[in-house]
Structure 1
Amino acid sequence: MLQRQLLSPPACGNNMNMRDLIRLRLAMLTALLMGGFHPFLSSSLQVVADEPSEAVLWAQRLNEAFVEVADRVAPSVVVIEVAHPVVSAADSLDLQNHPNLENLPEDLRRQMEEFFKQQQPEGGSEPSPSPEDTERPEDRFDGKGSGMILDKEGHILTNYHVIEAASRIRVRLQNGKIFQAHVRGYDSQSDVAIIQLIEAPAEILTPIALGDSDKARVGEFAIAIGAPFELEYSVTYGHISAKGRSAVTLSRNLDHDFIQTDADINPGNSGGPLVNIQGEVIGVNTMIRGLNTGIGFAIPINMAMEIGNQLIETGTFKRALLGIGIQSLSENYLLNQMLESVSQGVVVSSIQVGSAAADSLLQPGDIIIAVAGHPVATSQQLKNQVRSQTIGQPVILDVVRHQERLQVEISPKEWVRPEVATITANETRPVVHRPLGLKLRKADETGAKQFGVSIAEGLMIWEIEDGSLAERMAGNTLEPGIIITAVNYQPVRETFDFARIYREADLSRGMMIQYLDGQGNRGFVILSDQDL
C-alpha cells in the first residue's frame, strides 16, 4: 500500500537526516490531501470549524431581521390590477399627433414613433375591420400596482396614479384570493387614493403596522415590498437617503415632500409600503428618477394617512388654500441680506386676486414664520401646515414685515381640484347574461395560482353558474380551473373569441368545447339545448 510505504523508514536505514524527514512529511501531507488516511491519523487530524466571530453573529441576526420583516409585512401587501377602457386602433394611431409627444425623453419618443410606424397599414390605406375587431371588450386589465391593507373593513392605501381612469379594479391578497374593489376616494394633488375591497372577510385581512415618518432618520434601513415588473411580493432593501425632498417631479401639482431611498423601486412598486426594520410602514412608494439609479421616492406615511383618513371618512379631501406665491427666505439671497430681524421663514412673493390672502392684511414681501403657532422655515413646511386647516375658519399667521413682528388673521378657502381622468370603477354595471353559465377569463398567472394549475393558452373557467347549461350537461367534467382551448375547432385566446363563436353556433346542433384540465389531460364536451 502507498500509505505503508510512505510511513516506513526510508531505504537509507535508521539514520534519518533532516532532508529525509522533510521528504517523509511532504509525502504524508500529499497522501492526506489525496484522501489516503492512515488509521492512526484519522482521529487526530479531523478539522473542527471555528466558532463564528461576533461580527458574523451580528450579520446573522441582521439577516434574520430582514426575513422577519418580510414575513410580517407581506400579508398586508396587495397586488392591484386595473382595467381601462380599450382604445381603438384609430384612436391609438391618432396619439402620434399628440402635442406632448415632443416633450418625452428622446429615447422614449423614438420608441413611441417606432410603435406608431409599426401600426400603420401597408400602402397607407386604412385596414378593413375584421369580424373580431367589432367584438372588442369595453375594457381590459392592463395596469398593475401595489397597495397596503389599513383595516379589517378592507380599506387599501395606494397611489392615485395606480387607479387613475380605472373602469374596474381587482385586488389579490398574498394568499391568492381575489376581490373586486371600488374607489373610496382620491386626492390627485398628493397622489394618494383609498380603495375598498368588496365582500372581503375581515378574518383574512392583515392590517399593516403604521410607523411615524417624522421620526424616521436618514441612514436607517428601508425595505420596499411590491410587484415590480409583475414580479409580485418582491422585497428590496436599502436606506433612507434623505428626507424632505421636494420638486422631484415635473408635475407642479404635488404639494408635499418625499422620503428618498436607495431601496430598489420599479414600475409596479407604486402604492406599496416602504417599511423600517421594525416592519412599520413609513412611506408609500411613489416614483423613481430613472431605472437602476438607486433614487426612489416615497410619500411620508404621516401625510398619506392624514389624507387617507379623511378619504375613508368622507370620500374626499378638502385642501385649504391661502392663494399666495411663496419662496423660502434662505433661497432669496438679496432679501435675506436686507433683513436683520429674521433669518428663517417663508417669503410672500405674490397674492392672487380673489384669494383668502387678498381678503386679509397679508402683503407681498411679508415673511411668514409660523402658522397657528407652528414654526415654518421652508415653503414645504408652510404647505404642510396650511393643507389641513379648516376651510373658512380663521388661522393666525406670525409675520415679519420689515423690522416689525405682527400677527395676521386669514380664513383659508378651499382648493379647487383640477379635472382629472374619469374613474368609472364604482359605476353599477349591468349583469352579464351568460347563456352557457361559464364565467371565463384569459388564462394567466393569477388563475394558475388561484386554482393550482399550469398556464396554457386559452380561457380559464372561473365559475359555473348553478342550473346553467354547462352545469347540467357537463357538471361532472367542467370545473373552475379548466382551460378551454378551442370551441367548435376554433382556438380561443380572448373572451370575445368565445362570444363570437357562441353567436355563430347553433346550440340545437351542439357546440364542442375542447379543454385542458389541471392534470394536463385533454378532452372535449358537447353542450346542446336540443332536449331543453
Structure 2
Amino acid sequence: MKSIAARSFPLLLVVLFSAPLVGNAEDLRRTPVVRAIDKTKAAIVNIRTLRTIPARFDSADAGGRVRGLGTGVLIDPRGFLVTNFHVVEEVDTITVTTSDKQEYKAHVVADDSRADLALLKVDSGRSFPYLPLWGVDQPIVGETVIAIGNPYGLDTSVTTGIVSAVDRELRLPNGELFEELLQTDASINPGNSGGPLININGDLLGINVAIRSNAQGIGFAIPTDEVRRIVQNLMNSTSSSVTNHGLVIEERRNNGSDRESNSIVQVRHVEPDSPAAKLGFREGDQLLTVDGQRVSLSFDVNRIFWNRKYGEKLVFSIRRGDTNPKQIWLTITPPKGLSDDEVLWRIFGISTRSVPASRVEGVHDDLNGGLLLLDVASGSAASRSGFQPGDILIGLHDWEMIEPENVRYVMQWDELTSHQPVKYHVIRDGKIVSGSMRVPAFAPDDEG
C-alpha cells in the first residue's frame, strides 16, 4: 500500500496544480509593455492626408494629388490632437481613423512650423479617449520605451526600445535646429511621425518627430514638457484662452516622478468681483476635476477652458481643507470691454499703429493706408504666419487694413471658418509680400 501511495502522490500534485499553472502562464504574457499599450492605444489615431501638387511629380496620381500618412495623439476628449506640422503642411484634406476604426475629417487649429508641431480638431461631437500631457520629471536613459504609430500605413504598429540619450540636438536639412530631443532606438519609420513615445507606465514621454536616415536605430522625439509648452502657446494665440473666470491657479508638487499622483492644482488667487469670486471660490481650494476630467497640472485647467463657447457651464470638483469634495458650476464669459488694440495683441498677436496713405502710396497708388506692426507676440498666430515688426499690414482677405477695428472685423466675421486660411498682404522692404494665415476668431457680440 505504501508503494502505491508513494507512486500516486506526484500524480496528485500534477492534477492539483496544473490548472493554476495555465492561468499564471497567461498572466506572464501581460508584460508591462502590453499593459502600457492597452492603457494608451485608444488615444492614438492614424492620419491620412491629401495634397494637390502639379501632376508632373512621380508621387502624384492622375489628379495631381499626393497622399500622406502620419500619427496623432488625442489630448482632449473633444477631439483635439497633436501631431507633427510636416504631416499636415499645406494639405487639402485630413482624415483621422481612431482605434475603433471610425473615420472622421479633421482640420488644423494652429501650428508651429519651427517646432514641427500642429494642433488639430476632429470634426465630431463625440467624446474621445485621450492621453494627458503630464509626462515625467526626467526620462531615464536605458528605460524601456514604446513607439506606437502607423508606419507605411500599417495601423497601430508597436515597436520597443530604450531611451538612448536625452537633450540631443538635431539639425534638419532645411536648417531648422531641434534641441533637447529624446533619442531612442525604438524603430520609427515613415508614418510614425506625430505618434507617441511612451514608457512602461503608459506615460507620454514625447512625440516622435524624426529619424536619422543614414543610421540604424536612431530616432528622436520632442519631450512632453516641450510639447505641452508649445500647445499652451498655440492655445494662447486663439480666442479660446480669452475668458473671464477670475481664477489664478498654481500647481504644487510632491516628491516623485508620477505627476498624476504627486501634483496638486489649487487656487492661488481669486479676482475680486469675478464670476469665480461670486460663486465662492477661495484661495487654497484644491481643484480635483474640471468638467469631469482629473487635473494634475495647471495646463489641464487651461486646456479644459480652451475653445469653450461663451455661456457654456463647467463643473468644478474642489476640496477645501479637510472637507469632503464639493461641486461648483462656472459659466464661461468673455472679458468685458476689450479694446481693439487689446484684441489684436492678446489674440492676433500684433501691436499696431495706423499709417497714412502717404506712407504706402509709393508701393501702390490705390492704397489708403495701413497698420504698422510695432511688435509681434512670440508664439502668436501672427508670429507663426511670418509677420515681422516693421511690416505694414495692408490687407486681409478682400479688405484693406487701415485701423485696428478692420482686423477685429475679420476676426468676428461670420464666414471666417469657411474662408480659412485667409490671404494677407504686408509691405516689407518696400515690396508687397503675400501669404496666408489662420486668423484667430473672436466673438465681441458675446461680450456682456
TM-score with structure 1 setting the length: 0.41
Structure index of larger Rg? 1
Structure (1 or 2) with the greater strand fraction: 2
- TM-score, normalised to structure 2, is 0.48
